[in-house]
Structure 1
Amino acid sequence: MRREARSFALQALYQWQLSGNTLNEIEAQFRTEQPMEQADLGLFAELLHGIPAKVGELDALLSPCLDRSLDDLDPIERNVLRMGAYELAHRLEVPYRVVINEYVNLAKTFGATDSHKYVNGVLDKLAKGQRRAEIEGR
């Protein structure tokens, strides 16, 4: 259910970025037009509304982990990285390995050919800062 929510949230954020429609309009459209019966709707809404609300914070977390500007990234990669950063920073109940795996898989599904490798490297660097205690087993 969470995997489905993440997938729909990525698509909704992409639509928001390109269309200029409001988040509420996009959420309503997805809830009525997409087969979301198997999705965790709470997570979908949290990601859809939480990421734009914290975009400055997320970009600041990601920037030191990147080898280029966020603006130079493909919109899918940018959204996948922001979503991963959001979960690493704000959903501490989700193990960091699960977060990285979920977003690498989304990059494989929706991103360019090798974008999943880039996403993996960036989120791994970010996790080392955001989840140090978890990684070290403390």
Structure 2
Amino acid sequence: MTNPPNVPFKAPTPRKPKPGVKARSAARLAAVQALYQIEVTGRPATGVIKEFVAHRLGVEFDEGEKLHDADQAFFGDLVRGASERREDIDGLIAPALTADWPLDRLDSILRATLRMAVYEFLARVDVPARVVINEYLDVAHAFFAGSEPAFANGVLNTLARRLRPAEFT
């Protein structure tokens, strides 16, 4: 997928968030968009992070409302970490998928959502696995109205139990 010449890249826009979205939730939503942008454009994470911090965090929606200011440090950690560990993360996600739906066949936003959640399972042990699952299900619901959120829920539950079994005993 490429943009026509002289047309700036635009990350997918989620539906309007629920009122009261917290700073970390906003950071997760933006981090999935940034990871998508990194995959589609091939730009380095540092440049995409700078762009998001300067221009996209606190995005205004149609009615002039703003998404709650995202936790910029948390956002940077998520994007940088998921980008740097992408190969390892993909190696963990792939066995949780069916042969009919390998990672490269998934929608790019869904793939970014799974990658970001797995990064949190691995690196953000300060966040309970169940919270990570719920947060990324909210992200999936922001982008998808079909079966994708249920698919993400199944994959994330499987991976959370593998990566953090002590939280599910």
User: Normalised by the size of structure 1, how large is the TM-score?
Assistant: 0.92
Please name the residue that 1:28 is paired with. Answer: 50
* Residue from 19, 26, 32 that aligns with 2:41: 19
Q: Distance in 2 between matches of 1:11 and 1:75?
A: 10
- Does residue 48 (structure 1) correspond to residue 70 (structure 2)? The answer is no
Question: C-alpha root-mean-square deviation of aligned residues, in Å?
Answer: 1.4
- 2:30–2:57 Cα contact (<8 Å) kept: no
Sequence identity percentage: 39
Please name the residue that 1:117 is paired with. Answer: 150
- Does residue 79 (structure 1) correspond to residue 112 (structure 2)? The answer is yes
Counting matched residue pairs gives 136
Please name the residue that 2:125 is paired with. Answer: 92
Larger Rg over CA atoms: 2
Q: Distance in 2 between matches of 1:109 and 1:135?
A: 27
- Does residue 131 (structure 1) correspond to residue 160 (structure 2)? The answer is no
* Residue from 31, 47, 70 that aligns with 2:103: 70
Determine helix, strand or coil for the equivalent of 2:135.
Answer: helix
Instruction: Report the Cα offset of residue 38 of structure 1.
Output: 1.6
Q: Which one has the bigger helix percentage? A: 1
* Residue from 50, 57, 63 that aligns with 2:88: 57
Instruction: Report the Cα offset of residue 112 of structure 1.
Output: 5.4
* Residue from 139, 143, 152 that aligns with 1:106: 139
- 1:76–1:111 Cα contact (<8 Å) kept: no
User: Normalised by the size of structure 2, how large is the TM-score?
Assistant: 0.76
Gaps of 5+ in 2: 1-22, 59-67
